[in-house]
Amino acid sequence: MKPQHKPETDILIIGSGISGLMCALKAAETYHVTILTKKKLATTATAMAQGGIAAAQENSDDGMREHEEDTLIAGEHHNQKQAVQHVIRHAPNMIKILREYGVEFDSELTLEGGHRKKRIHHTKDTTGKTIEDALIKAVKKQKNITIIEDAMTLELLGDTKACRGCQYLKDATIYTIQSAYTVLATGGAGQVYAHTTNPKVATGDGIAMAHRLGATISDMEFIQFHPTALLDRYNPHFLLSESLRGEGAMLRNAKGEAFMKQYDPRGDLAPRDKVSQAIFIEQKKGKVFLDISHKPAAWIRERFPAIYPAVLKRTKQDMTKEPVAITPVAHYLCGGVEVNTRGETSVPHLYAIGETARTGLHGANRLASNSLLEGAVYGIKAAEDILQKLSTKEKLPSGSAKKTSFSIASQPFAMKHVRQQIQDTMWTLAGIHRTQADLSKALFQLQRIRDILPPIHMVNEEIMEARNLLEVSLLIVKAAQKRKKSLGCHWIK
């Protein structure tokens, strides 16, 4: 039976990755929650995460301090220290909670780039899917949660004084839903780029909508490019987990040489920004490869049961016998909607969590496997803060819920072409390596693209995604222009 639209809810959560689902489960203990998601519940970046979730061992204060230090080093100390401590101190409890929801982590921890110790909790190479499946199962059991799938959120209701819900499109009908509190958990914006590991739905919707409402957006120049995605014709590109290098895989250039020590003393386990930039330079001389073929074949197939067959199917390369061609691609947005340690944005009654949010944890470059952790911590903390406010009968400020008069597009628009133009512009002019001249060209081209978009009131899912991609692209380019010196994953000359 399809869920019936209800015009009001206590808490509206837009998005269904780890942060949104954790938030929903906590909030639904007391109040009614509505989850809106653009596709299906499981169509998320969380479900695609291979590596794991970073957490120092419980009762190991030294371990936590080291995790904090590794996070700060990877983030080039652009991080907010309060956010770093906040997230990492809650990490052991997040592992406990996920286990309570049925996530069975492997007994042995693994290592990833930027970490000095093994502290990555994982389930083989499908950690994200395992977590997503467990949380979805728990959400579907909750009577206080209404799930609305295949619903494209168009705009947030309200203004800078308060967010009051949203308008969304489902089954060729536009609905309005008002809420006491709204939580953006819409994921990242990797589809801004022509080459990315992100699912097709990662079009920066939450960031674009929050920006239009007047929320503070920051650190948009810090786009993390994952160094090891398969070099193939697919988009999204298939990710080769950082845990491969944690288990001994080596990067090799076209001559078969291990090259990372030339660029960073940490070698293959340097933070992602350093590795991606080194590969970018080496690719000017020829292809770059990831090689784990020196490990026993049976062990590779057992440790990486999803990656091994995927590589074989996509490229006909057998990673137990030969190196695999790789390339850096857009992977993670370190910036976003600025929030405090409770997930509150600058707009009252609006929260942002997960990759949509700029919490300050990642700084200028994300430490591997800190993202699922961040999503879990902020999902629960946002719910706790909202519950506390609702318990004190804090009501929505008076005033009408300002909304846009949308019309569903009755004629076709060439949005696929527009989307491709945006992605190509961003990849070639605002990608891994940037110059001020290229950024100026990018800004000019994006502004020209804006001129050919349909009228603002004309909507369908493709139009809104293109509009959001463009808005997020402009935020990235303008932020990159302002930061004159390289820092973390913002590499400029």
Q: Which of 21, 91, 93 is nearest to 369 (CA)?
A: 91
Is 272 an active-site residue? yes
418 pLDDT above the threshold of 50: yes
What is the reported pLDDT for 110?
94
Q: Do 112 and 368 touch, CB atoms closer than 8 A?
A: yes
Q: What is the mean pLDDT of residues 336-346?
A: 98
Q: What is the pLDDT of residues 352-396, one digit of tens each?
A: 999 999 999 999 999 999 999 999 999 999 999 999 999 987 766
232 pLDDT above the threshold of 90: no
- For residue 401, tell me if it sits in a domain: no
Q: Mean pLDDT for the chain? A: 95
What is the reported pLDDT for 6?
77
Q: What is the pLDDT of residues 2-56, one digit of tens each?
A: 556 778 999 999 999 999 999 999 999 999 999 999 999 999 999 999 999 999 9
DSSP three-state, residue 316: coil
Same domain, yes or no, for 217 and 116? Answer: yes
Same domain, yes or no, for 345 and 317? Answer: no
Same domain, yes or no, for 162 and 117? Answer: yes
Four-residue CA torsion sign, 220, 224, 230, 232: positive
Q: Looking at 119, 245, 252, 272, which residue is catalytic? A: 272
Same domain, yes or no, for 425 and 384? Answer: no
Same domain, yes or no, for 203 and 245? Answer: no
Same domain, yes or no, for 236 and 214? Answer: no
Tokens of 125: 């190479």
Residue range(s) defining the domain that contains residue 422: 407-492
Domain end position, chosen among 283, 313, 330? 330
Same domain, yes or no, for 59 and 172? Answer: yes
Same domain, yes or no, for 310 and 338? Answer: no
- For residue 183, tell me if it sits in a domain: yes
Same domain, yes or no, for 158 and 252? Answer: no
Q: What is the pLDDT of residues 255-309, one digit of tens each?
A: 999 999 999 999 999 999 999 999 999 999 999 999 999 999 999 999 999 999 9
* Total tally of structural domains belonging to the chain: 3
Q: What is the pLDDT of residues 447-482, one digit of tens each?
A: 999 999 998 899 999 999 999 999 999 999 999 999
- For residue 127, tell me if it sits in a domain: yes
Q: What is the mean pLDDT of residues 416-422?
A: 95
Same domain, yes or no, for 339 and 424? Answer: no
Same domain, yes or no, for 132 and 203? Answer: yes
What is the reported pLDDT for 1?
39
Q: Which CATH number fits the domain that encloses residue 477?
A: 1.20.58.100
- Strand-pairing partners, residue 134, are none
241 pLDDT above the threshold of 50: yes
Q: What angle do CA 309, 311, 316 make, to 5 degrees?
A: 100
- For residue 464, tell me if it sits in a domain: yes
Contacts of 400 (CB under 8 A, 6+ apart): none
- For residue 297, tell me if it sits in a domain: yes
What is the reported pLDDT for 342?
98
Stated pTM of the model: 0.96
Give percent above pLDDT 90 in the chain: 91
φ and ψ of 126, to 5 deg: -130, 40
Domain end position, chosen among 391, 416, 437? 391
Burial class (CB in 10 A: 0-12, 13-18, 19+), 455: exposed
Same domain, yes or no, for 267 and 357? Answer: no
Q: What is the pLDDT of residues 66-98, one digit of tens each?
A: 999 999 999 999 999 999 999 999 999 999 999
Residue type, 258: A
What is the reported pLDDT for 399?
58
Domain end position, chosen among 294, 312, 330? 330
- Strand-pairing partners, residue 351, are 183, 344
What is the reported pLDDT for 405?
87
- For residue 399, tell me if it sits in a domain: no
Q: Which CATH number fits the domain that encloses residue 359?
A: 3.50.50.60
185 pLDDT above the threshold of 80: yes
- For residue 360, tell me if it sits in a domain: yes
At residue 414 the predicted structure's pLDDT band, cuts being 50, 70 and 90, is: confident
Q: Which CATH number fits the domain that encloses residue 265?
A: 3.90.700.10
How far apart (Å, rounded) are the C-alpha atoms in residues 332 and 372? 12
- For residue 396, tell me if it sits in a domain: no
Q: What angle do CA 272, 337, 343 make, to 5 degrees?
A: 100
